[in-house]
Each structure stands twice: as structure tokens, then as C-alpha cells.
Amino acid sequence: MRNMWLVARREFLEQIRGKAFRITTLGLPVLFAVIVAIGYGSSVGVGGTNRSMVIASSNPALANAVRAQMEQGAAGVHSIIVVAPATPEQRAALVGQVRSKAIDGLLVLAAPVDGPPIASYFSGASGDFITITRLKDAVDKGMLDEHLLGAGMSDTAATAVLNGIPISTYQVKQNGPPVASNAEASFWKGYVMAFLLSLTTMLYGLNVARSIIQEKTSRIFEVMLATVKPTDMLAGKLIGVGAVGLVQIAIWLLAGVAILATPFAAIMMTGQFAIHFTWVEGVLFPVYFLLGYLLYSSLFAGLAATCETEQELQMYMPLAAVPTWLSFALIIVIINNSNSAWAVAGSLFPPTAPIVMFLRMASEIPPAWEFGVSIGLLIISIWATLWFASRLYRVGILMYGKRATIPELLRWLRYS
Amino acid sequence: MPVVELAGVSKTYENKVAVDNLSLSIEAGQMFGLLGPNGAGKTSSIRMMMGITIPDSGCVRLFDRPFERESLDRVGYLPEERGLYRKMNVLDQLMFFGRLHGVAAEDARKRGTDWAKRLEIADALDKKTEELSKGMQQKIQLIATLLHNPGLIVMDEPFSGLDPVNAALVERILLELKDGGKAILFSTHRMDQVEKLCDSICLINDGKAVLSGRVREVKERYKRDHVIMEFEGDPAFLESNEVAEAKNFSGHAEIHLKPRGNAQKLLHEAATMATIYRFEMVEPSLEEIFIRTVRGSNHA
């Protein structure tokens, strides 16, 4: 027991003092913020649209209505010129301007008397789908606006019809009053937590594996095994590296709390884009991190003991990542119905449980018994994985020279 | 009371018998050489002694008790393949190994510093292991082996990688430890060191003990069939019928007589051809005994 804690302490201190810890502690949140910022920026229309555009139509009212819609929604378009009514010669000349890159895009709206309007778009590029989607939205709304106004509806009423009616959402909790919520914000909160969970679990699981391979390569096991039991060594390593992960998560949480105390957080915590963190999430995040980490790291530890180099270990990585991919593949199912059979099964199946449970919690906290079963199954599977891993570890760390074959691995299990 | 005892120990890996019914024992204050060609089973035997692997049969006793892991706190082990944490500070590393053997942190720091001064590497204590030369790492490994003042010291090839000056320093330390009552076992290929340092030896080949006992007794088992000669003149007498094998180094010859070779006849023949300055009958060196025994056991 004494030696297990000494091994854990050494692992903890060496990793905490390491450059990699500092880089990931600071770098991951920054990287994540950059990814979110890029995603947010692209969703509000930075890029993807032309800088100058001409709308040519035989119907000036329709052309102006479409321009109004485009100016409302399409950021990035510097100028929109309307040529209406436009003759065929003018249209041909404008196509020539597109060709000579004098303008970036030309939207032609033909309005035949005996049929619906026909829209055509000319540009130097084949057109990205974001631009086309926005154009279609503007044309549809513009046409509807023109018809409503033509039918005698007031401008305010027509705008209300076009914009639709916003729905305020409230989540009704078991105790206390309903809380204003936002499905999109909740989803992103759950997604971010699940992503962090999968990232840290894999990251620290891999750290354990890498540490084992380095000790195997440097032959330090020979010295260690003359003092420490293999099971104590493995347990010490898992505890030490896991503690590093918990410290890192604690730093992120503290930084998060510090950010929440700033005016910026007020935007996140109030209004329509409200994100609410509950104590259940606060408690379960470290619990699922620890369980997920122990499951993956014990699996990685067993695999690492059979490898000679980190390159060999890389070959197993796609297999180990399958549960993570599977978890995120269930996102659509979970968004549609967080209590569907697939969602419940995913949150109980140990390899996918940590991530899927957090994705489910984003929309609704599952019943307590599901948490109980999920955590119970995780503990049982950790025990089983550790049983196999410690046997592979005991024999594998003293085997040098070549990669073990499957029959050899089976023999190792029998030896110990 | 034997400090370590192997009794009829065997170990088989897959289809290869690594150690076959090996027995040996080492007393306190004794230096013991475990000898054998590469792949003979030396490291496998040591690993069983250290509890790294478990014997298929036979038993290992440490400090007069059946093997138990707690006894390892009183054992210092220096493996053949050196193992240190490359990125770790040297003093932290020594303290870590000391604490694994039950030494208190401050005590481990003091002992580590004292040993580093003794081995002339005090400057290395605040460096990372990877910054040190191979010889210095070897000394750090030796300190890690001795820091907890073990009663039994087991070393697999302790002199590999050391220059003659440092090898002599380590030899002196080992002799002091032996005089202080420690039991020391080491394996080596350097027969000159075994002759100089060891009280007893065990030579193993193909996992079996083929020769064992006190060094003096072992050597006395072989008759004096070696001649050292210094001469000037015609060396044709080296091809005499009495000679099995001879090496001539410009007037200095080492001669191995035939089983029934007669040294007096050889001296008489030599005297007719050359001026003899020295003619001495010596016992075979441990290296010759080693080679002869291994060859003999391979042909058996």
C-alpha cells in the first residue's frame, strides 16, 4: 500500500511539473474557445457570401423586397444594386460584368405573368451552399413580403408574419419554479461537457499507456518489480495520472467559475440564451470522468504492456476510440428524444455511458435509477478490465523484443 | 545462516528450460560470483531471487525465511539493463527508490547526498538523469541499490559501462560492504574480477549448475598443468609432444600441458634450444576453468 501511494505520488508530481500539463491546461480551453468562436462566426455569416451583388428583375417591387431581405440577413455583402426593370440586353451586360469580375454575383428574378417567379444566380464560382441557402431564403421571403403588401397587409403585420413568433421555453424541474431554458444552449452545454469528458478521458488514458511504454523501454520495470508488486505499480500509476486529470478539471472549473463572475457571463446566464449548471452536473462530471478514465486507462495499460513502442500502441487507438465515436453518433437520436431506447442503452453501456449520459442530461436529467445502473455497470466493467489488464501487465512488462501475438496474450493470461 | 538460498529451483519459459534444479546459498559477509555464458540462466535465477518471477518448482529463501515481498526492503538490486527515470531529477529519483524501501524522505536525501559525494558525482544530484553520461548513470543506479543499506546486494553485471578508474572505485566499495557483513551476489563475464573479489562461485550452463564452491577449492580441483615460461632462443620446443596448447608472446609463453604431459621433459627439451629465465608451473586461471567447464558440459 505504501509503495502504491509512492508510485502515485511520483506519477502525479512528474506530470504536474511537466510542460505537457501546462500546455494542455492553458491550451485546451483556448483551443476550444477558438473553435467555438470560428463556429459562431461562420454561423452568423462571416464569409461565404459575395461582396457586391446585382439583382436584375422585370418586377421592381419584387427585386426591392428581396434586396431588403438580403440586407437584413446576409452579412458580408458590401453592396446590393437593383436593376429593375431590366432588359435582356442589360441582363447580358451584367453577366459580362460577372465574367470580368466587376461584380461578384448576379441574381436574375424573372416574373412571368402566367406563372411563379423564376430565380437564376450567376457568379464566377459554382456557389457555396451557404450563399445559395441565404439567397433562397431572401427570395422566398421577398416574394411573400411583396405578395402580402400587394394584398393590402400593413408593413408591420407583414414583417411579423415573415419573422415568425419567438417561443420562450421553460424547463419544469422536480422542485422549484419553471426555469427559462434554451434547447440550443442546453445542447451546446451538454455537447461541450461530453466533449471535455471524452477528451480528458482519452488524454489521460493515453498518458498512462505512454508512461508504461516509456518505463518498459527504459527497463525501469526490472528495478521497480524488485520492490513493488505489479498490481501496486499499476494502481499507483492509475491513481497518480487520474489525480492529475482531476486537478486539471478543477482548474478549468475554477476558471469557469471566475469567468461566470464577469459581466460576460451575465449574457450566458440570463435571457433567451440561458445556460444553467446544476449541482447534479457538478457532482457527476468528476464521477463520470473518474469512471471513464479508469475504464479506458486500464484498457490502455493492458494494451501498452504488450507493445514495444508508442507506434505499436497507435495501431490500437482506432479500436479504443470506437466507443467515443459511437457516443457522438447518437447525438441526433438524443436530441430527438433523450429517453429513447437507444439513448438509454447508450447511457447504460459502460464504454459509451459517460459521454451519452452527459448528452442526455443536456435536455433532461434522467431518472436516478439509470444513474445507479450506469455507474454500477461501469464499476463492474472497470473491475473486469483491470483483472485482464493487470495480468497482461504483469507478464508484458518483462517481455522485450517483439510484439505479442494473440495466442501469446492468451498464454499470458493463463500464466498469471 | 544463509542470507539467500535457492533450493532446487527451476523455471521454464514456453519450451525453453531457463533454470534447471539450481541450488545455491550465500552467507553474510560473503561475495558470490554467479557465472555462465550468455543465455545460461543467470538473469532468470536472479529474477526469481528478487521475486520478479516465480519458480515453477523449488524454493527461494531470503534471510532464513521463505520468500516474502517484505524481505525485499532489505535487498538491493542492480539489474543488467539499467533502469532510471530519464526525465526525473537525480536526487528526487534516489529519494523515491529509498522511500520504496522504507527509508524516510529526509534520511534518503542525506544518504543519497553522502553516497554521491563518495562516488564523486555530487554535482549530478540536481540534474535530470538524461543529462548524465552512461558511467554516471551507472553510479546513480548503484547508489539507488545501496541507499537503503541492504543486507543482501544482488548485481547483474555491475561493472559494465565503467572505466577502469570507476570500476576500481566500485570494487573498493563492494569489498568494504562485504567486510561490513553484507552478502553480495553478482554476475559477470569478467573472470579477473571474480578471482579478485569473490569468495565463492557458481558456474551455470544451460540452466544447470556445472561448477560451484569456494574459489580456492574450485581452483585446487584442477591440477597444475599450466606452465609460464620466459626464454630467449628457438621456440620450437613449444611444439613438443608434451604440449597441448601454447601461446608465445615474444619470449613469454603460456603453455597448457597434455593430460599426461611431463613438465620435466619439456624443460629439458627447452633448455637444449633456448636460455630459460623462468619456468613456473601454475594452476589454471578461473577463465580457463570457465571455458573448459562450459566446453565440457556442452560436449557431455
Contact between chains at B97 and A227 (C-beta distance less than 8 A): yes
Shortest alpha-carbon distance between residue B190 and chain A (Å):
23
DSSP-assigned letters across all residues of A330-351: THHHHHH-TTSHHHHHHHHSTT
H or E segment at A382?
helix A368-396
> What cell does B130 get?
538524461
Share of chain A above pLDDT 90, in %: 5
- Which option is the CATH number for B226-282: 2.60.40, 3.30.230, 3.30.70, 1.20.1530? 3.30.70
**pLDDT, average across residues A392-409:** 67
The residue assigned the cell 439567397 is A135
Contact between chains at B83 and A225 (C-beta distance less than 8 A): no
Which domains, ranges and CATH numbers included, belong to chain A?
Answer: 2-40+180-415 (no CATH), 52-163 (3.40.190)
H or E segment at B152?
strand B152-156
User: Burial, A317: exposed, middle or buried (Cβ in 10 Å; 0-12, 13-18, 19+)?
Assistant: middle
pLDDT one-digit tens code per residue, B240-293: 999 988 989 888 999 988 888 888 999 999 999 999 999 998 887 777 788 878
Share of chain A above pLDDT 70, in %: 82
Contact between B88 and B106 under an 8 Å Cβ cutoff? The reply is: no
Question: Is pLDDT above 90 for A29?
Answer: no
Dihedral over Cα of B93, B94, B98, B99: its sign? negative
What is the average pLDDT score of chain A? 79
Contact between chains at B88 and A218 (C-beta distance less than 8 A): no
Residues 244-283 of chain B with CB under 8 A from chain A are: none
H or E segment at A27?
helix A19-43
Strand duo B31-35 + B183-187: pairing = parallel
Contact between chains at B50 and A225 (C-beta distance less than 8 A): yes
H or E segment at A319?
helix A310-329
> Does residue A117 have a cis bond before it (omega within 30 degrees)?
no
pLDDT one-digit tens code per residue, A75-105: 456 688 888 788 888 888 888 988 888 888 8
pLDDT one-digit tens code per residue, B162-194: 888 888 888 899 999 999 999 999 888 788 888
- Number of CB pairs, chain A paired with chain B, less than 8 A apart: 60
- Amino acid A149: pLDDT: 81
Q: B149 pLDDT band (50/70/90 cuts)?
A: very high
**pLDDT, average across residues A322-329:** 84
Task: Measure Cα distances from A219 to A216, A388, B222 in Å.
Answer: 5, 23, 40
pLDDT one-digit tens code per residue, A38-82: 766 665 554 445 578 888 988 888 888 888 888 776 545 668 888
**pLDDT, average across residues A323-336:** 82
Q: Alpha-carbon distance B245 to B254, whole Å?
A: 8
Dihedral over Cα of A36, A37, A39, A44: its sign? positive
Residues in chain A: 416
**What is the interface pTM, i.e. ipTM, of the complex?**
0.77
> What cell does B194 get?
571474480
List, in sequence order, the alpha helices (H) in chain B.
42-49, 90-100, 105-118, 134-146, 164-179, 191-197, 215-220, 263-273, 286-299
Does pTM surpass 0.90? no
**pLDDT, average across residues B98-107:** 92
Contact between chains at B85 and A218 (C-beta distance less than 8 A): yes
Strand duo A169-171 + B16-27: pairing = unpaired
> What cell does A13 get?
508530481
Instruction: State which residue of chain B sits closest to A9, comparing Cα positions.
Output: B96
Contact between chains at A219 and B100 (C-beta distance less than 8 A): no
- Amino acid A48: pLDDT: 47
Q: A265 pLDDT band (50/70/90 cuts)?
A: low
Hey, is the C-beta of B191 within 8 angstroms of any chain A C-beta?
A: no
Q: For residues B297 and B196, which has the higher predicted lDDT (pLDDT)?
A: B196
Strand duo B252-257 + B226-233: pairing = antiparallel
Question: Is pLDDT above 60 for A401?
Answer: no
Question: Is pLDDT above 50 for A371?
Answer: yes
- Amino acid A377: pLDDT: 94
DSSP designation for A175? S
Domain boundaries, chain B: 2-217, 226-282
Of the candidates A221, A222, A227, which has its C-beta nearest B100's C-beta?
A: A227
Q: How far apart are the two ends of chain B, measured CA to CA in Å?
A: 35
pLDDT one-digit tens code per residue, A350-361: 988 888 888 888
- Amino acid A75: pLDDT: 46
Cβ contacts of B110 within 8 Å, gap of 6 or more: none
**pLDDT, average across residues B134-148:** 90
pLDDT one-digit tens code per residue, A286-302: 888 888 888 888 888 88
| Residue A169, beta-bridge partner list | A181
Q: B229 pLDDT band (50/70/90 cuts)?
A: very high
Contact between chains at A223 and B79 (C-beta distance less than 8 A): yes
Q: Alpha-carbon distance A382 to A230, whole Å?
A: 18
Cβ contacts of B114 within 8 Å, gap of 6 or more: none
Hey, is the C-beta of B128 within 8 angstroms of any chain A C-beta?
A: no
Shortest alpha-carbon distance between residue A227 and chain B (Å):
6
DSSP-assigned letters across all residues of A160-174: HHHH-----EEEPPS
Of the candidates B84, B87, B101, which has its C-beta nearest A227's C-beta?
A: B101
Of the candidates B86, B101, B144, which has its C-beta nearest A218's C-beta?
A: B86
Contact between chains at B102 and A2 (C-beta distance less than 8 A): yes
Contact between chains at B100 and A228 (C-beta distance less than 8 A): yes
List, in sequence order, the alpha helices (H) in A118-271.
129-150, 155-163, 183-217, 220-225, 230-260, 263-269
Question: Is pLDDT above 60 for B47?
Answer: yes
Chain B residues whose beta carbon lies within 8 Å of the beta carbon of residue A219: 79, 81-83
Instruction: State which residue of chain A sits closest to B89, comparing Cα positions.
Output: A14
- B2-217 with B226-282: one CATH topology? no
pLDDT one-digit tens code per residue, A191-216: 777 888 888 888 888 888 888 888 88
Among A225, A411, A414, A416, the residue to mutate for chain B (most B Cβ within 10 A): A225
Per-range mean pLDDT, top range of A169-173, A214-218, B127-131, B187-191: B127-131
Residues 386-405 of chain A with CB under 8 A from chain B are: 398
Residues 219-248 of chain A with CB under 8 A from chain B are: 219-229
Given CATH 3.40.50.300, say whether it is the number of domain B2-217: yes
Contact between chains at B75 and A226 (C-beta distance less than 8 A): yes
Instruction: State which residue of chain B sits closest to A398, comparing Cα positions.
Output: B52
Task: Measure Cα distances from B158 to B26, B112, B143, B154 in Å.
Answer: 18, 19, 12, 9
Q: Alpha-carbon distance A319 to A202, whole Å?
A: 12
- Amino acid A5: pLDDT: 92
